[in-house]
Amino acid sequence: MIHSSNSMYKDQHKTVFFETFGCQMNKLDAELSLGLLLEEGYQIVDKADEADVILFNTCSVRQHAEDKVYSHLGALKTLKKKHPEVIVGVLGCMAQKDGKAIFKRMPHVDLVCGTRMFARLPELILNIRNRGSHVLAVDEDQIIHVKRAVSHRPNFYQAFVTVIRGCDNFCSYCIVPHVRGREISRTISDIKEEVEALVANGCKEVTLLGQNINSYGKGLPGGVTLGDLLSELNDIDGLGRIRFVTSHPADMSRDLIRTISRLGKVCEYLHMPAQSGSDQILKRMRRGYTAGYYRDLISYAREVIPHMMVASDFIVGFPGETDEDFQETVRLMEEIRFQNCFIFKYSPRTGTKAAELEDDVADEVKRARNMRLLELQKGISLAENKKLIGRVVQVLVEGASKSDSNKLSGRTRQNHIVVFNGSRESTGKLIDVLIHEVTDLTLYGTPT
C-alpha cells in the first residue's frame, strides 16, 4: 500500500503547472495529486512557462485525447532546451498504457507516473532532481491510499469521492480495464471518514466515483454493496446530497433502485450509458445486455422513482454498425428521452478486443451519425426542460454564474443547471427556485 508523504520530501523548486484531461476520476486524481504537492509547499501557476514542474494528467479513452497531450508535450521541447531543470511529467492513463514508449517519443519527458502511483508524486519528483534521470512508475498492483487534504478543493460545496477504482468488465472497445487495472473497492468506513471530513469542511454534496460503480463492494468482506454504502452516507448530518457515477446497466440491480428511492439524500439522477440501441452491436461491444433489457430497467427505475432523470453515453460507428443498427440507437434515444447524452465517435484502442475488428465505418459517416444524435438530444433536452416552466425546483447554490456574474447558479437534484437572481448569502444552501424560462442546457428562474 502506498501512503501519501507528510512533508518528507522537501524540494526547493516549488511551482507547478497541472493540466488534466478526461473523466471525473482524472479530475479527482489531479485534485489529490495537487493536494499532496501543496502540502509540500508547492504553488500552482497557470502558465506552463512559469513552472518548475509541468504535469499532465492524461486520458486514453479515445485517440483524440492522446493526440492532444502529445501535441502539448511536443510544444514544451523548446522550453525544456532552454530550462533543462524544469521537470515534465505525464501521469494517469496514457502513462500506464504507453509507459517507457513516452520517453522514446518525447525524450524531454522526465516522469511517467501511472494510474496507481500518483500518491508518490512528491517523492518521484525529488528522485528526478537528485538523480537527474527519467523516472518510470507504472506498477499496476499498488493500492492507492491518499490521506486527502480536504481543504485543497476546487469546489467548496461539492466534492468527488472515489469508492471503487478499475474495471473488470472489459467492454470490447474500452481501454479502461487495461490502464486502470482490476476493480478495488475502498471500505465503507474509509469512505465515510473522508465524507465526514469533507462535510466538516463545508461540503454539501458528494459525487461517488467508480468506472463501474455498481460493482462497489465486490471483494470486500461481508458482501457489502453500493446500497449499503449509500445508506451509511445518507445518515451523515450536514450532508445535503449524494450522487454516484457511472452505472453499468448489466450490474445495476433493482434492489439498488429500491434502496435509492428510500434514501432522501440520494439524487434522482442516473448516468447509465447504453452505448448503442442495437442488440448485435451491444453483443459485439460485450456489454452483457440487450436494448430491451435497458428499456425495462429504465421503466422500472422511473416507476419506483418518478422524477428519475437518466443520462447516457453512446458510441457511433462501432465496427460493423449499419444504418439499421444506427436507427435502433436513434429509436432508443427517442423512446427513453434522456436528460443529456455524451456521444462519441468510435476510436480503436490497441490492446482491446474491438481493435481486432476492422474499423470499417467511414469517418464522415461517424461524424454524420454523431451530429444526428447531438441534434436529436438537443431537441429532447429542450422539450423536457420546457416541462419544468412554472415548476419549483430545489437548487444547491454553487456561486456566481459563469455566463453572468451578477447572477447565481446551481444544480437541481436531477442535475439541471439553474441560473437565477439571488443573494450571495444563499451560496452553499439548498433553496427553491421557480422556473420561468429554459434552453436545452439551462433553466432560468427566481427564488421563491
The residue among 273 and 410 lying less far from ligand 5AD, judged by its C-beta, is 273
Stretch that binds ligand 5AD, among 6-14, 31-39, 341-349, 427-435 (CB under 6 A): 341-349
Partner from ligand SF4, ligand 5AD, none contacting 346, C-beta within 5 to 8 A by type: ligand 5AD
Q: CA–CA separation, 399 vs 416, rounded Å?
A: 15
Asked whether the beta carbons of 168 and 215 are under 8 A apart, the reply is yes
Partner from ligand SF4, ligand 5AD, none contacting 225, C-beta within 5 to 8 A by type: none
* Residue 295 CB, nearest approach to ligand SF4 (Å): 19
Stretch that binds ligand SF4, among 29-37, 64-72, 168-176, 436-444 (CB under 6 A): 168-176
Task: Using CB atoms within 10 Å of the CB of residue 364, give its burial: 0 to 12 exposed, 13 to 18 middle, 19+ buried.
Answer: exposed
Q: How many CB atoms lie within 10 A of CB 442?
A: 15
* Residue 361 CB, nearest approach to ligand 5AD (Å): 12
* Residue 155 CB, nearest approach to ligand 5AD (Å): 21
Three-state SS at 156: coil
Residue window 134-173: x/- pattern of binding to ligand 5AD, with contact defined by CB under 6 A: ---------------------------------------x
Which of 338, 344, 420, 444 binds ligand 5AD (CB under 6 A)? It is 344
Asked whether the beta carbons of 109 and 174 are under 8 A apart, the reply is no
Q: How many CB atoms lie within 10 A of CB 323?
A: 9
Which of 86, 87, 94, 174 binds ligand 5AD (CB under 6 A)? It is 174
Q: What's the 3-state SS for 352-375?
A: CCHHHCCCCCCHHHHHHHHHHHHH
The residue among 89 and 217 lying less far from ligand SF4, judged by its C-beta, is 217
Q: Is 24 in the site for ligand SF4 (CB under 6 A)?
A: no
Q: Which of residues 223-252 bind ligand SF4 (CB under 6 A)?
A: 248
With cell 537528485, the residue in question is 130
Q: Is 315 in the site for ligand 5AD (CB under 6 A)?
A: yes
Share of the chain residues as helix, strand and coil, in percent rounded to the nearest 5: 40, 25, 40
Q: Is 347 in the site for ligand 5AD (CB under 6 A)?
A: yes
DSSP line for 173-239:
T--HHHHH-S-EEPPHHHHHHHHHHHHHTT--EEEEEETTGGGTTTTSTT---HHHHHHHHHT-TT-
Which DSSP symbol is given to 7? S
Which of 61, 121, 125, 285 binds ligand 5AD (CB under 6 A)? It is 61
Residue window 271-300: x/- pattern of binding to ligand 5AD, with contact defined by CB under 6 A: --x-x-------------------------
* Residue 346 CB, nearest approach to ligand 5AD (Å): 5
Q: What strands lie across the sheet with 309-316, from one edge to the other?
A: 269-271, 309-316, 340-345
Asked whether the beta carbons of 111 and 125 are under 8 A apart, the reply is yes
Residues in contact with 288: Cβ distance below 8 Å, sequence separation at least 6, in sequence order: 169, 250
Q: CA–CA separation, 44 vs 47, rounded Å?
A: 9
Partner from ligand 5AD, ligand SF4, none contacting 420, C-beta within 5 to 8 A by type: none
Element at 324 (helix H, strand E): helix 323-336
Which DSSP symbol is given to 402? S
* Residue 364 CB, nearest approach to ligand 5AD (Å): 17
DSSP line for 19-69:
EE-SSHHHHHHHHHHHHHHHHTT-EE-SSGGG-SEEEEEE--SSHHHHHHH
Stretch that binds ligand 5AD, among 72-80, 99-107, 255-263, 345-353 (CB under 6 A): 345-353
By CB under 6 A, the count of residues binding ligand SF4 is 10
The residue among 4 and 211 lying less far from ligand SF4, judged by its C-beta, is 211
Q: Is 18 in the site for ligand 5AD (CB under 6 A)?
A: no
* Residue 165 CB, nearest approach to ligand SF4 (Å): 11
Q: Is 313 in the site for ligand 5AD (CB under 6 A)?
A: yes
* Residue 24 CB, nearest approach to ligand 5AD (Å): 10
Q: Is 212 in the site for ligand SF4 (CB under 6 A)?
A: yes
Q: Is 171 in the site for ligand SF4 (CB under 6 A)?
A: yes
Residues in the chain, how many? Answer: 448
Asked whether the beta carbons of 328 and 275 are under 8 A apart, the reply is no
The residue among 247 and 401 lying less far from ligand 5AD, judged by its C-beta, is 247
Q: CA–CA separation, 348 vs 229, rounded Å?
A: 36
Residues near ligand SF4 (CB under 6 A) are 167, 169-171, 174, 176-177, 211-212, 248
Residues near ligand 5AD (CB under 6 A) are 61-62, 173-174, 273, 275, 313, 315, 344, 346-347, 349
